[in-house]
Each structure stands twice: as structure tokens, then as C-alpha cells.
Amino acid sequence: MSGYLTTHVLDTARGCPAEGLSIELYRIDGTERTHLKTLVTNDDGRTDAQILPSAEFRTGSYELVFHAGDYLDRTGVAPENPRFLDVIPLRFGMSEEVHYHVPLLLSPFGYSTYRGS
């Protein structure tokens, strides 16, 4: 079995998937932070391809950076300046060659995440 990484972003304020939200993936090696790719969520709040497919998967530390502020500005939900939530970094480890799913539940004033399935 090979590992891979996926995500799903749900807009809990509007009760729908967060379409068009930009996500960056970084690999963390000690103090080094290397940008691997940038993807955008589709109409289901997921990326069209796996964020980190099996062919590119390595165990280790990673960071997903969700550009929530840009998305929230486009939706017009509770606009404010400066916005309370803007860029949301999630740093996590992957220690096994399995499917890692890191969803984000998003609202203008809070978010949550967990290791999904």
C-alpha cells in the first residue's frame, strides 16, 4: 500500500463546499520549508487530484496553507478589514504509507481540522 494525501474544505457558515480556495503544500525538513505545489478546490471543496499522490508520497512533516481570506472575501460572508482569518497554516506529520485526509471546516471566525478517512 502506498500513501497519499487529500483534503476537503467545507464552508460551515454557508453550509456548502468551499469552491475556489487556494491551498499550498510544503514539506518541512528541520528548519527548511520547501514549496511542493499549489492547488485550488473544485465545486465539491476538494482538489481535482490528490494533493500528494502515491508516486510523490514520503513520510515526514508537511504544511498545508489554506488561503481562507481570499475565499471569504469572494463569498461576501462577514466582510471586514482586516479580516479575522486570512491564511491558515496546518502543520502535521505523516508517519505511515497510508491515506491521510486533512479536512478543513471553515467559517469567518473559526476553523477546525482533524485526521479524516
Residue-wise DSSP of 14-37: TTEE-TT-EEEEEEEETTEEEEEE
- Neighbouring residues of 76: CB distance < 8 A, sequence distance ≥ 6: none
The mean predicted confidence, pLDDT, of the chain is 95
pLDDT at 49: 96
The predicted-structure confidence for 39-89, as pLDDT tens digits, reads as follows: 999 999 999 999 999 999 999 999 999 999 999 999 987 667 888 999 999
Out of 26-30, 66-70, 77-81, 102-106, which region has the weakest mean confidence (pLDDT)? 77-81
What does pTM read for this prediction? 0.94
